[in-house]
Structure 1
Amino acid sequence: MVAKPIRTIGPLHLEDLEPHRFEDLVRQLLYDFRPWRQLEATGRGGGDEGFDARGWEIVPDAAEIDQPEEDGETSEPSYQDRQWLVQCKREKAIGPGKLVGYLDEVPEDERGNLYGIVFAAACDFSMRARTAFREKVRELGISEAHLWGKAELEDMLFQPKNDHLLFAYTGISLQVRRRSVKTEVRARLAMKRKATRHLREGGEVLIRDAEDDRFPYLDETPDNNNSRGNWMVRHFQGCFHDGLRFQHRRHFAFLDDDGVHWDFAESMDDAAVEGWRNPWAETEDDDARRNARHEAFHAWEALPEKNRAWFEVHTVLPYENIIDIDELGDDAFHGPQIFTTQFYLNSSGPFLRKSFISLHTLEGRWHSQMDSLGHENRVEVFSRDPRKKQFKA
C-alpha cells in the first residue's frame, strides 16, 4: 500500500522564544492548572533564586475566605494555602544530572513550606531524567511535582481552551484554521451547486479573467507577448471532484484491436468553438481548417467502426479559482460566463496544470489518462501536421 501524505503542523519551536516570553507562556498555562489565590512572576523582577514564578493554591478549607477586602484588593495568602514554585528553562536538552542540579537550587528556607513544584522546559526529557526528577522531589519532601517537557507543553497549547495562547506565542491558530477550512469548503460547494444549476453539459461557456478590463475587445497589438484578451469559449463537460472540466481538444482517432496501437488526427480539432457561438474565433484560416477536418474525416470513416475513436484533452478549473458565475450573459456573449482569478502570463492561468487525456472508441472501449498508451505505440493512420509538436504520452 502506498503511503499517503498528510497535512500537519510542524514541531513548535518554543526554544526560540525570548526567555521572559517563555516564562510568561508557562505562567499563563498555569492559570487553569489550579485555583490560585496569587501567582507571582518572580523571575521578571530578578533575585528569584533560580525560580521564575511562585503561587499559592487555594485548598478547599480556605476557599470560603477567598473574598476581596473592602478596598477591592485580594487578601494575602493564608497559612492554609499550598505554596508552589515554578522553574522555566528554555534549553534544547537537559539531562538527569542537570535536572537534579536545578532542583538542588530550591532554597533551604522554602522547602519546609513548599507543597509542589512545576519544572517546565522547551525540550524533551528522557526516561532516566524523569525517574531522577521523581526521586529528587521525594528526597526534598515535596508532596507534588510536575515535569512539563516540550511534548506536555504542546499538548496543552493544542487544547481548544488554549488556542489564544498558541496564536499569541507561535502565530498558529487551530480555531482560525478550522474556520478558514469551513469557509473554503462552503465556498467550493456553493460554486459547485451554482454550476450544476446553470451550466449545461456540452454547452458553450465563456471563461474570463475578472481583472481583464479589455473585455470584450481584443488587443490589436498586445504588449510583452501577452494574449490579446484573457477570455475563451469552451464546451462544459461537467462537475468533478477537483473542479469544472472543459473540453480543450477533440480529434478523430484510431485504436487498434490490440488496444495498444493508436493514432489521432492532429491537423483538426473539434473542441474549438467557432462561428456565431464564439465572437472572438479566428476566421483567417477557416478554409484550411475545414479542408484538414474533411481529410481527417475521410480517413476516420474508412476505418472499421470498432477502431474509430475520439482523442480528447480536458482541462480543469478548480472551484476555488472561480469568483462567480453569471448565468445570464451579456451583449458580448449571450451564454453563461465564469469569472475567474487572474490569467498569468506563460502559465495555465486559473486552470490546473494537469490535463486529463482520454482515448475511447465508439463501441465504448477507452483508455483514461493514456495508462497503456505512449508515443512509441503511435502508428500513422492520419496525416501529420508539420506545424504541431509530436504528442508525448
Structure 2
Amino acid sequence: MSRARPTRTTNPIHFEDLDPKRFEDLIRELIYDFRDWQTIEATGKGGGDDGFDIRAYELATTTTIDDDGNEVVRPMDGYAWMIQCKREKAIPPSKIKKILEDIAPDNPPYGYILAAATNFSKKAYDTFRDELTKLGVLEFYLWGNATLETELHQPKNDRILFTFFGISNVLRRRSRATEIRSEVTNKNRVMRVLGDSPARSWILLQDSKDRHYPYESKYTDFAERPRWKGLEVVELHPRGVIVSMKRCYAYFDESEKTFDLAEPPIVLRNPYDRTRDTESDREERKKLDLVMDYWERLRQKNQAMYHLNGIIRYEDMLVIDDKGDSWNEVPHIFVDYVDGSPVSGTLAFLEKGKREIGLDGFSREAVFPKSFPEPEFGKIYDEEGLALPQGLCEQYVNFRGGDLDKLFDVDGRFAHLKPSDVAVVRFGQKDDRFVQITHRYELSGDDLLRDHPQMVWQVKQHIGRDPLADDVIQILECRSCYKHQWEGAH
C-alpha cells in the first residue's frame, strides 16, 4: 500500500541535555549494580576531585580459621576503582591520553571506567586500552553513547531512565499493550458488525475532527476534502478493513505494459444513503454512460477495470458506531483523516476477468479521450434473427448462457455485419435480444487450436462442428444493446 504511515522507533537519548554534574549523577546510578561495592564516593561533587569524579571500592573478603578451627569470613580493603565522567561531544585519542594523566603511575587503581556522552572511534578504544595496560590497571571500560543507551534500556534501569530523561520502557510496553487491546477490540467489533461475508457491505468513515456532519454545505471545499465518506467494503484484512476507493473503466495492453483509465470513475451508490439524488449526480451518471459506451467498443482483450483499494487499520479506529443514523443507516467509523483521506494506505491494480494484474512495470499512456462521443449505431438488422443454432438462441434470449460477446463464422453467414451494426437474436415468442458488433477480425483454425484452446468450445457451439486447422474463422466481438439506445437516431 502507498502512503504508509511512519514506523514508530525509539529516538536517541540526549545525554548532552544533562549538565556535567547531572551526567555524573547518572553514571553513579548506573554503576551501583556493576559490582558489589563497599562504598561509592561522589568525589567530583565537592570540586576537589583530584582529577576524577567518582571513587568506589569493590567489596572484598578473606577467609581465615579462628582458634577453634572454624572458618571465618572477614572484610578487607576492597579493590579501588576510578570513574571519570565527561559530557563532551567528541573525545579523540589525544584527549584520552590527557584524561588518563590523572592516574598515578606508582599507585594505579584496580579498575577504571571512562564514561562520556560521545561515540568513540576504534583508535580511541585502542589508545584507552594501551595506556591503561601500561599503567597496570587490571580492569577498564570505555562507556560511550551506545553502551550507556544499552544499559539504560535494560528493565532493571527503567527507574533511572525515567528519573533522568522522563522515558519509561515499562510504561511504553504498558501503553503498547493498551494499543493492542484496543486494536483487537476494534477488530472483533467490526467482524460482529459486518458479519462473516462483509464484501459489498458499506461503512461511513467520519473525520474525528468534524463537527458539522451531515451538512456538507458547512464546508466550501467538501468536494475536494470530504469530512465523511461512504465506502464499500471489499474484505476484512488481518490489519484492517479493505474498502473500495475508486473504480474506473480501463484500457490495458499486456504485451506493451501500458494502461489508461477513464474519468469520471464508476459511481458506487450506497444503497443505505438517504440523502437525495442531486442534479450533479444525474449529470455524472450521464457522463459515465458515455464512458462505458466507449469502453465497450474497445477490443475485448484490452478491456479491464481499474481498482484503487484502501485500508482502514483497526488501530486507527477511534470510535465504532454500529447503528449509524437515519441519513446513513450503515456503521459509522471515526478516524483521523490525513490529507483529506481516511485510509492509511492504498493499492491500485487492474482486474481482467478473474485475474488481478498489478501495475508494477506498467506505464500509463493516454487512450481515452478527454470528452467522450455520443453512442453510434450502424445498420439495424432487426427483421431476421441471427443464424445461430436454436440451443444458443434459447440460452441467450433467456439469459442462461451468460453474455453474448462473440459470434463465430466460417461460412460467411455473418459477412454482412460490420462494426457498429446491430443484429437480433430470436427464440419462439420470447422478447428479442439485440447485440451490437464492436470489432471484427479473423483467426486461422491452426492459431485457434494452438493459442486459444479456451475458445474452441465456443466456436464449436456456433458452427456446429469441431474447428479444423485449415478453417478461417471470422470473429465478431459484440455487446448487448437495447432499442431505446438507437431509436430516434434513425
Q: In which range does the TM-score fall when normalised by the shorter chain?
A: 0.7 to 0.9
Residue matched to 2:266 = 269
Residue matched to 1:20 = 21
Q: The residue matched to 1:280 in structure 2 has which SS?
A: coil
**1:225–1:365 distance in 2 versus 1, CA, 3 Å:** closer
Residue matched to 1:252 = 249
Is the CA contact 1:212–1:229 (under 8 Å) kept in the aligned structure 2? no
Q: The residue matched to 1:55 in structure 2 has which SS?
A: strand
1:367 aligns with 2:357: yes
Is the CA contact 1:264–1:382 (under 8 Å) kept in the aligned structure 2? no
Which structure is larger by alpha-carbon Rg, 1 or 2?
2
Determine the C-alpha separation between the residues in 2 that align with 1:306 and 1:280.
39
- Where do residues 20-169 of structure 1 align in structure 2 (5 Å cutoff)? 20-61=21-62, 80-96=77-93, 98-106=95-103, 111=107, 114-123=109-118, 124=120, 126-138=124-136, 142-169=137-164
Q: CA deviation at 1:375?
A: 2.7
Aligned counterpart for 2:280 among listed residues 276, 281, 285: 285
Residue matched to 1:234 = 231
Is the CA contact 2:205–2:342 (under 8 Å) kept in the aligned structure 1? no
Q: CA deviation at 1:24?
A: 0.8
Aligned counterpart for 1:383 among listed residues 372, 383, 398: 372
Residue matched to 2:484 = none
2:28 is matched by which residue type in structure 1? R
Is the CA contact 2:112–2:140 (under 8 Å) kept in the aligned structure 1? yes
Q: CA deviation at 1:262?
A: 4.8
Determine the C-alpha separation between the residues in 1 that align with 2:8 and 2:206.
32
Determine the C-alpha separation between the residues in 2 that align with 1:250 and 1:99.
66
1:350 aligns with 2:342: yes
Q: CA deviation at 1:28?
A: 0.8
Structure with greater strand percent = 2
1:108-149 deviations in Å (ceiling 9; x for gaps): 9x938x5433333334262431233323431xxx55444434
Q: CA deviation at 1:79?
A: 5.1
Q: TM-score, normalised by structure 1?
A: 0.73
- Of the structure 1 ranges 299-308 and 39-48, higher mean CA displacement relative to structure 2 is found in 299-308
Q: The residue matched to 2:267 in structure 1 has which SS?
A: coil
Q: CA deviation at 1:296?
A: 3.9
Q: CA deviation at 1:97?
A: 5.2
Alpha carbon RMSD of aligned pairs, Å?
3.8
**1:250–1:88 distance in 2 versus 1, CA, 3 Å:** closer
Residue matched to 2:188 = 193
Is the CA contact 2:294–2:372 (under 8 Å) kept in the aligned structure 1? no
Residue matched to 1:337 = 332
Determine the C-alpha separation between the residues in 2 that align with 1:379 and 1:264.
7
Q: CA deviation at 1:13?
A: 4.4
Q: The residue matched to 2:45 in structure 1 has which SS?
A: helix
Q: TM-score, normalised by structure 2?
A: 0.61
2:129 is matched by which residue type in structure 1? T
How many residues align? The count is 352
Determine the C-alpha separation between the residues in 1 that align with 2:176 and 2:285.
49
**1:375–1:308 distance in 2 versus 1, CA, 3 Å:** closer
**1:155–1:212 distance in 2 versus 1, CA, 3 Å:** closer
**1:207–1:100 distance in 2 versus 1, CA, 3 Å:** closer
Determine the C-alpha separation between the residues in 1 that align with 2:296 and 2:99.
89
1:372 is matched by which residue type in structure 2? F
Is the CA contact 1:267–1:384 (under 8 Å) kept in the aligned structure 2? no
Determine the C-alpha separation between the residues in 2 that align with 1:318 and 1:19.
46
Is the CA contact 1:263–1:381 (under 8 Å) kept in the aligned structure 2? no
Residue matched to 2:205 = 207
1:60-117 deviations in Å (ceiling 9; x for gaps): 349xxxxxxxxxxxxxxx7533333322223344455543443442469x938x5433
1:337 is matched by which residue type in structure 2? H
Determine the C-alpha separation between the residues in 2 that align with 1:81 and 1:253.
82
Determine the C-alpha separation between the residues in 2 that align with 1:287 and 1:146.
78
Determine the C-alpha separation between the residues in 2 that align with 1:294 and 1:26.
74
Determine the C-alpha separation between the residues in 2 that align with 1:188 and 1:145.
48
1:266 is matched by which residue type in structure 2? E
Determine the C-alpha separation between the residues in 1 that align with 2:216 and 2:261.
34
Q: Which sections of structure 2, spanning at least 5 residues, go unmatched?
A: 1-5, 64-74, 375-490
Instruction: Compare relative contact order (CA 8 Å, sep 6+) and give the higher one, 1 or 2.
Output: 1
